[in-house]
Structure 1
Amino acid sequence: MVDKVFNTTFEVSLRVMLILAADEEPKTADTIAITDFITGYGKNFGISDENLHGDNSYGFSEFTARRSLVIKALRSLVLDGLVSVSEGKGGFRYVANETGIRYALSLKSGYAREYRKTVKSVISFISEKTERELISFVGRNSVGSLQLGGRNG
């Protein structure tokens, strides 16, 4: 039996580290989950030329499950000493510490390179939006994707 690797806390932890290393600004778990989701389906959101997680019109149904995995991943990363947490406006905020940044920079696969490139565009795209606006944006694109089988911005 092959061990499950995809959509595990470990896999999500790697992506969370890539997100946090790409931007020094502390982020809530929801913002991290939204960033990861948009990065994985960048083509559907008009951010990149391809979806890192494949073309899947039902991919948006993953968001709720992904948010739960991000919270588990953050808990693990804090316990492992790679991420620091503080309480701020709107709840807990997470940031990669020096050890975490070094770890994220050690990830050298082709996927990690593509993810880094796309996540920078996503961070720029979402930087002026509130969490509420982002959740609404994901929701609108989710409905559009399911109805049209593609991008709806």
Structure 2
Amino acid sequence: MWIDGGASSKNSESAEVASALAGSMVRLRARLRRESADLAGGWSWTQLLTLTRIIEEGSSTVTELAAAEHVRPQSMTDTVRVLTKAGLVESAQDVNDRRRMQITPTAHGRKVARDLRTVRESWLAQAIAVSADPAQIRLLGEAAELINKLADESQLRVARQG
């Protein structure tokens, strides 16, 4: 599906929402990092997201991880190297294709990810409970679904201007 980058009112409104949403996501991500800084071990958000993806989706190659996270394979190689050095993941040759390396989480990596998620989600749940009414809480749930759809939509291509 292609989206025309034209100047219709819908696109203008979408641009305003996109700007506000991007800024809000950056602020929320920073706050979540701050709330879990004691557990984060100095690992970057990208490194922790990659660890979470490996845990949730099972063993993967660097190429598969790079595609899933929308980064270059070289960048993902660096990320996996840091995670491996920290003992959060390990790699082994693929049993079906000896040229490929499968990346899997270690028990330590699973524990770190679980602990970080618990701290972050606990803080966020408390913040939502204090800041939002029931209708807003439902709206946040719907927004989360849409944000995930936007992040995962491999068929979505946006026409770039200029």
Q: Which bracket does the TM-score occupy, shorter chain normalised?
A: 0.3 to 0.5
Q: Which has the higher helix share?
A: 2
Q: TM-score, normalising length from structure 1?
A: 0.48
Q: TM-score, normalising length from structure 2?
A: 0.45
Larger Rg: 2
